[in-house]
């Protein structure tokens, strides 16, 4: 199915997929597309167009080379259509390539109540991909950020068992028994490195005692953080709790390597006839 570049960006964000944006900055002479034309490129697909033909093949190849590095980057490439692109147009184009790697942080969020909603609103602007899980369809807002995907499941515990070691889990449900089942499953059946659990120190001690009785090795509890969130950020309102949780989990993300196009390079392109 053919989709626009705007739809493709939304889709990539929602799926946590790495992508590149190719934008024609300037054109000279006869060219197949005008400045501002965009194309979205992933490792396996492309959406929209910057002109087709040999030019587009070269843009695709260069964008995928950059995607393979896994580094966020911006650079300008110049394509003489009669030379490098071997097209009969005879003009030339300068293309800005912007590379967006996979999200640094993949979060499985259990619970769509007030704290869950506040947390998603904060993470909407962060380098994170959120799988948002709850059994109650009506709890999810009508409008979702691009980096969040909703999963309505009558068995969240089964979904928890499928998480991988490159994800973290945050549990903010309305049900203490469900919280316990989620924690036990995550600790016993997965290698998820971090489990954030909303609650109190008393809740944490009760869960730890139950897990020992259920024959879970005590060392596994080290992966569970309860109460989740930074103690240095006080407050009990949903947004205050969400800010505390967001601060803690965002600190878990590795620093992203970045490569940026210089302003001198952009000015050079814009001065070209």
- Name which of 16, 180, 12 is nearest 110 in CA terms: 180
Q: pTM of the full predicted structure?
A: 0.72
pLDDT, one tens digit per residue, over 11-38 is: 887 777 889 999 988 877 666 677 788 9
- Give the model confidence (pLDDT) of 146-188 as tens digits: 889 999 999 999 999 999 998 999 999 999 999 999 999 999 9
Residue 265 pLDDT > 90, yes or no? Answer: no
| Coil, strand or helix at 114 | helix
pLDDT at 112 over 90: yes
Q: Specify burial of residue 53 (Cβ count, 10 A radius: 0-12, 13-18, 19+).
A: middle
Q: Supply 229's token pair.
A: 């969130």
User: What is the rounded CA–CA span in Å between residue 73 and residue 62?
Assistant: 12
| Residue 225 tokens, joined | 């953080």
Q: What is the pLDDT of residue 83?
A: 52
Spatial CA neighbour of 38 closest among 81, 79, 5, 74: 5
Instruction: For residues 184 and 188, give the distance between their C-alpha atoms in angstroms, rounded to a whole number.
Output: 6
Give 199-220 pLDDT, tens digit per residue. 999 999 999 999 999 999 888 9
pLDDT band at 234, cuts 50/70/90?
confident
For residue 192, name the pLDDT band (cuts at 50, 70, 90).
very high
Is 53 a residue whose pLDDT tops 90? no
All domains in the chain, ordered by first residue: 5-101+256-271 (no CATH), 105-250 (3.40.50.720)
pLDDT given at position 85: 47
């Amino acid at each position: 199915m053919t989709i626009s570049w705007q739809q493709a960006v939304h889709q990539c964000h929602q799926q946590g997929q790495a992508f590149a944006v190719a934008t024609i900055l300037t054109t000279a002479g006869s060219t197949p597309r005008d400045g501002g034309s965009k194309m979205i490129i992933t490792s396996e697909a492309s959406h929209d167009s910057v002109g087709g033909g040999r030019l587009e093949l070269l843009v695709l190849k260069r964008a995928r080379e950059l995607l393979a590095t896994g580094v966020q980057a911006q650079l300008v490439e110049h394509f003489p259509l009669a030379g490098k692109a071997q097209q009969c147009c005879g003009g030339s184009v300068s293309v800005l390539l912007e590379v967006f790697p996979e999200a640094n942080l993949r979060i499985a969020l259990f619970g769509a109540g007030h704290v869950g909603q506040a947390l998603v609103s904060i993470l909407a602007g962060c380098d994170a991909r959120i799988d948002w899980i709850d059994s109650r369809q009506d709890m999810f807002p009508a409008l979702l950020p691009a980096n969040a995907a909703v999963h309505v499941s009558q068995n969240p515990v089964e979904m928890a068992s499928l998480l991988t070691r490159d994800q973290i889990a945050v549990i903010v449900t309305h049900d203490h028994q469900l919280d316990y089942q989620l924690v036990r499953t995550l600790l016993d059946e997965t290698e998820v490195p971090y489990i954030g659990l909303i609650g109190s120190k008393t809740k944490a001690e009760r869960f730890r005692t139950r897990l020992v009785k259920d024959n879970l090795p005590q060392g596994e509890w080290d992966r569970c953080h309860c109460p989740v969130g930074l103690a240095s950020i006080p407050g009990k309102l949903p947004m205050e709790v969400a800010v505390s949780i967001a601060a803690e989990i965002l600190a878990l993300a590795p620093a992203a390597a970045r490569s940026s196009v210089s302003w001198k390079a952009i000015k050079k392109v814009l001065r070209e006839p």
